[in-house]
Structure 1
């Protein structure tokens, strides 16, 4: 009812404020990293926009966010928990990050893969330039002045991994998990207990039993596939996300917050039951990297191409579901091409 709608609005507003705070933390870490590389002059001369403010405005005024609010969906609650997790990890608040992680995983299974960026954020801190940049800077500094050891000491101490916040995080994950599972077992004791809850939530997500039309493509694929091959393709599609986790973590370990954005974008495209709220979340997180994206090429084509594909979604839904037109294949091709090209450009630019 009306109370649920108000709670959804409040959740979106809190998420936007936490994204804004996370953006400021990332911007401070970015400036410290560039100053440690003696690039203060280039930082002052470059366009330095407020990434936190930009990201929060993108999240609040995103059409996908407005659609989820108007439709009274529960996606803003899930997005809020993911944002709480990232905010706590960037601020190195292990209890807050553990609470967001447990609740986000409880509401939806897919945020479980965010354990790696959260661990990197707690261990290394916010995003930093690659280690090889500091090594190259240290070598050039030694060539100029072999007697100056001050910068080398500061660069060696920068970005060291710490296990203490991660151990605190694991402890708090265990505490919050026990608390949530205990409450669920008490509430669901007369209904079927935890086993039925896992079957109706996580089992429902992994087995893709509901083939109602949505903005994803898995429902259509499993509606057409033979039952004999269904188990095989279920394993393939569910493992597809997991196969990307480790290689991306190795490549982007120095950019854990950007790694979390990449994971969120992949989940939004490949999860079994995607929604408009998933797109709202990763587009809001994309605004956290506004300073880097300002120098990206082909932004006009990618931006308006994404808007055009989004506006054509209702038309293509009608053609797909009711009229079964061949133009839907063109739409799918454009959508996947724009999505992949956008994320590829972001990865090449921001790494």
Structure 2
């Protein structure tokens, strides 16, 4: 039965058609950027996410100056080392920063795949909860809605994500590491979740609030049976039983014990230890990258 369920979840030809169509649509917009002029819009490309400012910071670094000297670049030195070399490469007849735009397209597609995998894991956990509670009738009669496919397509075809992708912004990379964190938490891969959370918080401070859902996912797990399913199991059980005294059924339903849900601190503690290790590693890499330009103090000041 599990094999049939996996086949039903994976065989989605319409999903792949729409997913690749979104990639082609992004590539078409990248080839005609002059008519859109999205990179100059502050709603799309902020001082923290602008690839143009990153290119200026990389130019200053190549000129043996601090990348933060021009008061234009405010991003991470890691992005400067990874995307910086791509900003100076030009191809004849092609738009500037086309390689960075292609990286953004790949990042968006990989993010959508992580969203899809997360949805599949949550769907399997939900079905497993139905089986553990004995709700086989509900499991057989319910139509499986691939929430992962829908969420991935919503992300790929969202106007804001498309504009961010073609508007010379580093937001697709930030979205990728955020989704990496959530995927690691749903699958209880603690090192992966900690890595995604640390890098996402380093690139942009707001993903730090993900510590709350990540802690809950690691502590309880995605396969925890919801209480409403426990009540539904009880109602189904007493609904099938033949009894003339309805008040007795209500009393038994009320007194039916609910399975306790325990919080596991072990993966949470491991998460914080891994997060501390990844944070130190990121700081070391940043220190090496800007050691000749004021060090980490210069980075934190900007």
Q: Would the TM-score normalized by the shorter structure come out above 0.5?
A: yes
Matched, 1:61 2:154: no
- Deviation string 1:110-135 (CA, Å, 9 cap, x unpaired) is 11011011011111111645447537
Q: Paired residue for 2:292?
A: 190
Q: Paired residue for 2:183?
A: 87
Write the mapping of 1:316-331 to structure 2, written as runs, cut at 5 A.
none
C-alpha deviation, 1:10, in angstroms? 1.1
Q: Paired residue for 1:36?
A: 132
C-alpha deviation, 1:12, in angstroms? 0.8
- Deviation string 1:124-162 (CA, Å, 9 cap, x unpaired) is 111645447537856996988xxxxxx97xx737x4321
Any stretches of 5+ residues in structure 2 without a counterpart?
Answer: 1-96, 239-247, 250-255
In terms of mean alpha carbon deviation, does 111-120 or 31-40 score higher? 31-40
Which of 201, 207, 220 pairs up with 1:105?
A: 201
C-alpha deviation, 1:42, in angstroms? 2.7
Aligned in 2, Cα 1:63/1:127: closer, same or farther, shift over 3 Å?
Answer: farther
- Give the number of the structure whose alpha-carbon radius of gyration is greater: 2
Any stretches of 5+ residues in structure 1 without a counterpart?
Answer: 145-150, 201-351
What secondary structure does 2:168 align onto?
Answer: coil
- Deviation string 1:25-67 (CA, Å, 9 cap, x unpaired) is 0001111223334433234333421111111111112222211
Aligned-residue RMSD, C-alpha: 2.9
C-alpha deviation, 1:7, in angstroms? 1.0
Q: Paired residue for 2:145?
A: 49
What secondary structure does 1:4 align onto?
Answer: helix
Rounded to whole Å, the distance in 1 between the matches of 2:272 and 2:161 is: 32
CA contact (8 A) 2:186 2:218 kept: yes
Rounded to whole Å, the distance in 1 between the matches of 2:232 and 2:175 is: 39
Q: Paired residue for 1:5?
A: 101
C-alpha deviation, 1:19, in angstroms? 0.7
Q: Paired residue for 1:156?
A: 259
Aligned in 2, Cα 1:64/1:139: closer, same or farther, shift over 3 Å?
Answer: closer
CA contact (8 A) 2:128 2:223 kept: no
- Deviation string 1:45-101 (CA, Å, 9 cap, x unpaired) is 334211111111111122222111211211000000110000000000000000000
Write the mapping of 1:1-351 to structure 2, written as runs, cut at 5 A.
1-126=97-222, 128=224, 130-131=226-227, 134=230, 156=259, 159-200=261-302
Rounded to whole Å, the distance in 1 between the matches of 2:121 and 2:294 is: 44
- Deviation string 1:239-268 (CA, Å, 9 cap, x unpaired) is xxxxxxxxxxxxxxxxxxxxxxxxxxxxxx
Rounded to whole Å, the distance in 2 between the matches of 1:2 and 1:78 is: 19
State TM-score, norm by structure 1: 0.50
What secondary structure does 1:156 align onto?
Answer: coil
Structure 1 or 2: larger helix share?
1
Aligned in 2, Cα 1:133/1:24: closer, same or farther, shift over 3 Å?
Answer: closer
Aligned in 2, Cα 1:162/1:135: closer, same or farther, shift over 3 Å?
Answer: farther
Rounded to whole Å, the distance in 2 between the matches of 1:23 and 1:133 is: 19
